């Protein structure tokens, strides 16, 4: 298969490939395709997603109803500390 790209776009892809440690653009593009296939396998089952959402909601609801919570101010402060560290 041959894919034709504008020269500028090809240079961008080659640069991204080098930045990410690939020897050439072909290896980089093939790795992207493989990663996409792996990701799509994980999220393609709506029934499984629904079960996870329901389980997550039940757990969160249980935590809220039993007082297993943190004040929002504490969470904001934690996020601010993480931002300062990075």
State whether 39 and 1 are in the same domain. yes
pLDDT 10s digits, 33-76: 998 887 766 555 666 666 778 888 889 888 888 988 888 899 89
**Res. 81 pLDDT band, cuts 50 70 90:** very high
**How many domains does the chain divide into?**
2
Return the pLDDT at 46: 66
State whether 37 and 8 are in the same domain. yes
Question: Which whole number is the average pLDDT over 20-44?
Answer: 83
State whether 40 and 74 are in the same domain. no
Return the pLDDT at 29: 92
State whether 33 and 70 are in the same domain. no
Q: What gap in Å lies between CA 54 and CA 59, rounded to an integer?
A: 9
Are the beta carbons of 24 and 14 closer than 8 angstroms? yes
State whether 33 and 65 are in the same domain. no
State whether 84 and 58 are in the same domain. yes
State whether 1 and 40 are in the same domain. yes
Return the pLDDT at 53: 82
State whether 49 and 78 are in the same domain. yes
Q: What gap in Å lies between CA 71 and CA 19, rounded to an integer?
A: 41
Domain range for 21? 1-44
């Amino acid at each position: 298969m041959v894919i034709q790209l504008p020269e500028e776009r090809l240079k961008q892809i080659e640069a991204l490939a080098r930045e990410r440690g690939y020897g050439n653009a072909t290896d980089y593009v093939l790795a992207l395709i493989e990663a996409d296939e792996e990701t799509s396998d994980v999220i393609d089952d709506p029934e499984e997603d629904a079960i996870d959402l329901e389980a997550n909601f039940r757990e969160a609801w249980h935590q809220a109803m039993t007082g297993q919570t943190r004040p929002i101010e504490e969470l904001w402060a934690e996020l601010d500390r993480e931002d300062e560290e990075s």
